[in-house]
A and B are shown apart, each in its own frame.
Chain A
Amino acid sequence: MDLPERPLLDRLAAYAHAAAHRPGTPCRCPGGLVGVLADRDDGTVVRHGRLVAKAHAPGTDPEAHCARLALAGHPDVRAVLLPPLPGPRPAAPDELGGPHALDGRPVTLWPYGPPVDPADPDAAPWEEAARLLALLHRTPPPVGAADRLPEMRAPVKAALAVERMRRTAPDHPAARTVLAAWRSVPDRVAPGGPRLLCHGDFHLGQLVRATGSVPPQNSPSSAPGPWRLIDIDDLGLGDPAWDLARPAAWFAAGILPPEIWSRFLDAYRGAGGPAVGADPWVQLDVPARALTVQTAALALAKSTAERRPLDEVEEVMIDTCARIAGHRTDPAPSAST
């Protein structure tokens, strides 16, 4: 057979199947509960019934990945991060290319959890998200993990987005505006800043409800499970203000209504979140600029690749870049305040 040539997606689906069912047990999962949840540059995710399998991005650093995975499974963050499931015993490991990697990409297993409903903005769990972030930021890095945990990747992701725009959409009329805004963002994270546990890529798509169904208990409770954060790929140590930066950027752009931003920020503070002080923009200004630039840069890259004009929301992000470029960066307050 041509097993080595099967597309990664097929082999990931086979892996998820093997993990969901004992060898030799027929699959009776309804069709709607089996399928591809995401297939992007930064990861491929397949669902099979109660679990999902993720093939992480090509080029994922194995050591950093292991440290991040270990953190997600650590009891100290049990109330914040969805914990991974142990890998299956594949009937024929050779067929699957080894139990924990496909094409050199790490593969992980997770319980399936329902995500935020994109059709119901009013039900979005902004407060719960803020509390989860506050709790994550307040959790001391677990002993032993602290030395191995990598930097959280939010600043790197912003730089990579600008790189991608430079590479794929250098002649877009708005590229100059985005680059001008980018020049107002400091090159590197100031040394001596906070080194707290951070998610590294927070947005509402990073929340699912934990169904807590590792053993198939058909408990009669129909109450939805608690929200948990998912996606370990950018986890690490760093300045927690970056985890608030995406909502902050949407708010500053005028897209996230002020009352929702207030609810989010109040809930974060109410839960003891340490990222911001009395004036949140002292800490948020630089990360929110960076996330605005990141969003605008990816909008240019994607719209160029898709040969389409910018849509209304993307235009708003470019407008915001223009305002960023028009304001001088205030030097960050020195560490000796």
Chain B
Amino acid sequence: MQCPKCHAAMHTYNRNGVQIEQCSGCRGIFLDYGELESLTRLESQWVQPAPPAPPAPQAYPAQPAAPAWGAPHHGGHHGGGHYRQRGFGRMLFSS
């Protein structure tokens, strides 16, 4: 089968029981009738029982030591966002 867009060869893959054709050229994906629904169903099954995602990569190599009472999610977006939006200004004043 040829890709309808770029005419390169399509390869058939089986993903969790769903057949999909992917173009070797433009990486486009061709879905047969009902395949999109199958994928959607699989996706929802995947999402529901998923355990809470493990905390973002825990150990960046040079994560500095923190006290036991420190904020739980060090290194995440949280701190950086606070710092840029409002926190930095606070570091310029006595508190």
A residues within 8 Å of B by Cβ?
Answer: 42, 115-116, 118, 121, 124, 201, 203-205, 246-247, 250-258, 260-262, 265, 279-281, 284-285, 288-289, 291, 294-295, 298-299, 311-313, 316, 319-320, 323-324, 326-327
Contacts and interface: CB of A to CB of B under 8 A. Distances in A.
B91 A252 contact: no
A252 B69 contact: yes
8 contacts: A203-B94, A204-B92, A252-B71, A257-B75, A258-B64, A313-B82, A319-B71, A323-B70
B93 interface: yes
A28 B72 CA distance: 55
B50 interface: no
Interface in B38-95: 62-75, 78-80, 82-84, 86-95
B65 A289 contact: no
Given A118-B92, A246-B95, A320 B83 contact: no
A319 B79 CA distance: 14
B88 A254 contact: no
B91 A254 contact: no
Contacts of B91: 124, 203-205, 246-247, 250, 256
Which of B71, B91, B94 has the most chain A CB atoms closer than 10 A to its own CB? B94
Nearest to A297: B95
A contact face: mostly helix, strand, loop, or mixed: helix
A114 to B, nearest CB: 13
Which of B63, B72, B87 has the most chain A CB atoms closer than 10 A to its own CB? B87
A257 B78 CA distance: 9
A95 B91 CA distance: 38
Given A251-B64, A257-B80, A258-B74, A42 B69 contact: no
Nearest to B92: A205
Given A116-B92, A252-B66, A324-B69, A121 B84 contact: yes
A291 B80 CA distance: 20
A204 B94 CA distance: 9
A256 B75 CA distance: 10
Given A118-B89, A121-B84, A313-B90, A254 B79 contact: yes
A30 B59 CA distance: 54
A329 B15 CA distance: 54
A251 B69 contact: no
A285 B70 contact: no
B92 to A, nearest CB: 4
Given A258-B74, A327-B69, A265 B87 contact: no
Given A254-B79, A257-B80, A289 B69 contact: yes
Contacts of B62: 262
A263 to B, nearest CB: 10
Nearest to B72: A254
Contacts of B88: 118, 121, 124
Which of A116, A254, A285, A295 has the most chain B CB atoms closer than 10 A to its own CB? A254
A280 B70 CA distance: 14
Nearest to A254: B71
Given A115-B92, A254-B82, 18 more contacts: A42-B94, A116-B92, A118-B92, A124-B88, A205-B91, A247-B91, A250-B91, A253-B71, A255-B83, A256-B79, A256-B83, A258-B64, A265-B64, A288-B67, A299-B95, A312-B82, A320-B69, A324-B69
Nearest to B74: A258
Nearest to A319: B71
Nearest to A249: B95
Given A42-B94, A203-B93, A281 B73 contact: no
A205 B69 contact: no
Contact of A250 (B63, B69, B87): B87
Contacts of B65: 279-281
B79 to A, nearest CB: 5
Contact of A320 (B63, B71, B75, B86): B71
A324 to B, nearest CB: 5
